[in-house]
Structure 1
Amino acid sequence: MPLESIDQLQHGPVGLRLIRGRDARILQRELLSNRAWLRPWEATIPGGVTSFDMRVSIRRLLQQHREGAGYPFVMEYDGEIAGQLNIWGVARGSLCSATIGYWVSERFAGRGITPTSVALATDAAFDLFGLHRMEICIRPENHASLRVVEKLGFRYEGLRRRFIHIDGEWRDHHAFALVKEDVPEGVLARWLAGRVPPGAGAVPAAG
């Protein structure tokens, strides 16, 4: 189901909507003003030059959406753009799976935007977009994102060594996932009701 055919996903002041070409200026400004905050977690291309042409990025995201390969959102807080969330790598057929990636501006940190947005997006993926499994891959050093999957009860599935090129190097990532059967009441509803299984998103101690 294309995003254009559904209303904005919303819970309280937090909303998700399809990214638009006219969002480029605001998003590029946020990325440039949050360099120190975001650089440790940004994907890079080996041997490539980091590009900040958000217009090109949005065109590519919308093309992927038209092809059924992704769902590109902006995250909003009280109607103001706070960051991006992308459902990418959509696989249909016998998999029906995808991956979530996101970033939020530092000035919006600590307001529950990211866990709420991830929950909204995962519920939409299961209930509206016909997906069965949602994955999130997180660097071991990214404690804020590790708290997100712990809050929402994404299940730890293992370490992927040197998995994604981030901030100029190949980085290890922890993999977490949910399948639709894990959350019959919905990710957001389960979290808000305090019914996330204790330790569901915990990374096992090494050794």
Structure 2
Amino acid sequence: MRLRSENAAWLEPWEATSPGTGHGQQGTVATFGEYVRALSAQARAGTTLPFAVELDGALVGQLTVASITYGSLCSASIGYWIGREAAGRGVIPTGVAMAVDYCFFVLGLHRMEVNIRPENGPSLRVVEKLGLRDEGLRERFLHIQGAWRDHRTFAITSEEVPGGLLARWQATRDAI
């Protein structure tokens, strides 16, 4: 909670809100405690994998594999946040690559996607570094800051990284 509080202004432009259930209700942001409780329930149901992101033994962010679906889809989506002090150091691309590999090689999923607001330059850089495919714009995709916001969708399938996304990311980093 301290990390989230210290980074409130940094994270607020990207925070999901609830559109409300009645006519004319304004969007609201869940408290961090409510968010954690919801993630825990979804994890117990097997539809979400919440991960803490650490750097040098300190909590610096969070990554969530959500909407885990099996059957003919075998897919999930990834969302993440990181504190401002740790941003830009390759932590989140590494975490996303590790999560994708876990989903492909352990869970047996086929497709992973990341949805990002077009204005979120740092998050766009994450998927660019990892080489995820840009699949285009989803108009009014997610409720953020009290309104429905457009998102760009980026995806990768297991066939695209037979040796794993982490190995590809590490090779890319080493080449720089």
Answer yes or no: same fold by TM over 0.5: yes
- Of the three residues 59, 67, 70, the one matched with 2:48 is 70
Indicate how the Cα distance of structure 1 residues 170 and 110 shifts in structure 2: closer, same or farther if over 3 A, else same: same
The match for 1:155 is 133
Give 5+ residue unaligned stretches, structure 2: 20-25
The match for 2:5 is 32
Per the TM alignment, residue 57 of structure 1 is displaced from its structure 2 partner at its CA by 2.3
Please say if residues 28 and 146 of structure 2, whose CA atoms lie closer than 8 Å, have aligned partners that are also in contact. Answer: no
The match for 2:37 is 59
Residues 68-121 of structure 1, C-alpha deviation per residue, up to 9 Å, x if partnerless?
101111101112111110000111111110000010011111221110110111
The match for 1:198 is none
Give 5+ residue unaligned stretches, structure 1: 1-27, 196-207
Paired amino acid for 1:177: A
Percent identity, please. 55
2:22 is equivalent to residue 49 of structure 1? no
The match for 1:17 is none
Mapped to 1, the partners of 2:103 and 2:145 lie a distance apart of: 29
Please say if residues 16 and 29 of structure 2, whose CA atoms lie closer than 8 Å, have aligned partners that are also in contact. Answer: no
Mapped to 2, the partners of 1:179 and 1:165 lie a distance apart of: 27
2:80 is equivalent to residue 102 of structure 1? yes
Per the TM alignment, residue 59 of structure 1 is displaced from its structure 2 partner at its CA by 2.5
Aligned-partner SS, 1:194: helix
Mapped to 2, the partners of 1:48 and 1:142 lie a distance apart of: 20
The match for 1:129 is 107
Alignment root-mean-square deviation, CA: 1.3
The match for 1:117 is 95
Q: Please show how residues 188-203 of structure 1 align to structure 2 within 5 Å.
A: 188-194=166-172
Paired amino acid for 2:130: L
Indicate how the Cα distance of structure 1 residues 48 and 110 shifts in structure 2: closer, same or farther if over 3 A, else same: same
Paired amino acid for 2:125: R
TM-score by length of structure 2 reads 0.90
The match for 2:23 is none
Paired amino acid for 2:10: W
Count of aligned pairs between the two proteins: 167
Mapped to 2, the partners of 1:57 and 1:186 lie a distance apart of: 30
The match for 1:23 is none
The match for 1:11 is none
TM-score by length of structure 1 reads 0.77
Mapped to 2, the partners of 1:51 and 1:84 lie a distance apart of: 16
Mapped to 1, the partners of 2:15 and 2:135 lie a distance apart of: 22
> Runs ≥4 in structure 1, deviation > 6 angstroms?
none
Aligned-partner SS, 1:193: helix
